[in-house]
Amino acid sequence: MTPPGSGLQAGLKNRHLTMIAIGGVIGAGLFVGSSSGIAAAGPGILLSYALVGTLVVLVMRMLGEMSAANPASGSFSEHADRALGRWAGFSIGWLYWFFWVVVLAVEGTAGAKILAGWVPAVPQWGWALIVMLVLTASNLVSVGSYGEFEFWFAGIKVVAIGAFIVVGLLAIFGVLPGAHTDKASFSNLTSHGGFLPHGPGSILTGVLLVVFSFMGSEIATLAAGESEDPQRAVTKATNSIIWRIGVFYLGSILVVVTLLPWNDASLQKQGSYVAALNSLGIAHAGQIMNVIVLTAVLSCLNSGLYTASRMAFSLGQRGDAPKAFARTTSRGVPMAAILASVVFGFVAVFFNYKFPDTIFLFLLNSSGAVALFVWLAICLSQLRMRRIMQREAPEKLVVKMWLYPYLTWATAALIVFVLGYMLTDTQGASSGRKTVLLSVGVAAVVVAVAFVKQAVQSRRTPAAPAAEAAEKVTTG
Residues 6+ apart with CB under 8 A from 437: 423
- Burial bucket for residue 17 (CB in 10 Å: 0-12, 13-18, 19+): buried
Q: Cα–Cα distance between 65 and 59 in angstroms, integer?
A: 10
Query: Which of 192-201, 360-369, 372-381, 402-411 has the weakest average pLDDT?
Result: 360-369
Residues 6+ apart with CB under 8 A from 326: 313, 316, 317, 334, 337
Q: Cα–Cα distance between 217 and 23 in angstroms, integer?
A: 9
For residue 65, report the phi and psi dihedrals to the nearest 5 degrees.
Answer: -60, -45
- For the ranges 89-93, 305-309, 389-393, the maximum mean pLDDT occurs at 89-93
**Chain segment 198-207, per-residue pLDDT in tens:** 999 899 888 8
**Chain segment 250-302, per-residue pLDDT in tens:** 999 999 999 999 999 999 888 888 889 888 888 787 788 888 888 888 888 88
For residue 227, report the phi and psi dihedrals to the nearest 5 degrees.
Answer: -110, 170
**Chain segment 103-126, per-residue pLDDT in tens:** 888 888 888 888 998 999 998 888
Model pTM score: 0.88
Task: Answer left, alpha or beta for residue 180, where phi above 0 means left and psi between -120 and 50 means alpha.
Answer: beta
Distance between terminal CA atoms of the chain?
32
What's domain 14-475's superfamily in CATH?
A: Amino acid/polyamine transporter I (1.20.1740.10)
Q: Look at residue 340 in the predicted model and tell me its pLDDT.
A: 93
Write the DSSP symbol of residue 7. Answer: -
Q: Where are the domains of the chain?
A: 14-475
Residues 6+ apart with CB under 8 A from 303: 20, 24, 150, 216, 219
Residues 6+ apart with CB under 8 A from 31: 271, 272, 273, 289, 292, 293, 296
Q: To 10 degrees, the CA torsion angle through 163, 165, 171, 172?
A: -170
H-helix segments, 25-85: 28-41, 45-69, 76-84
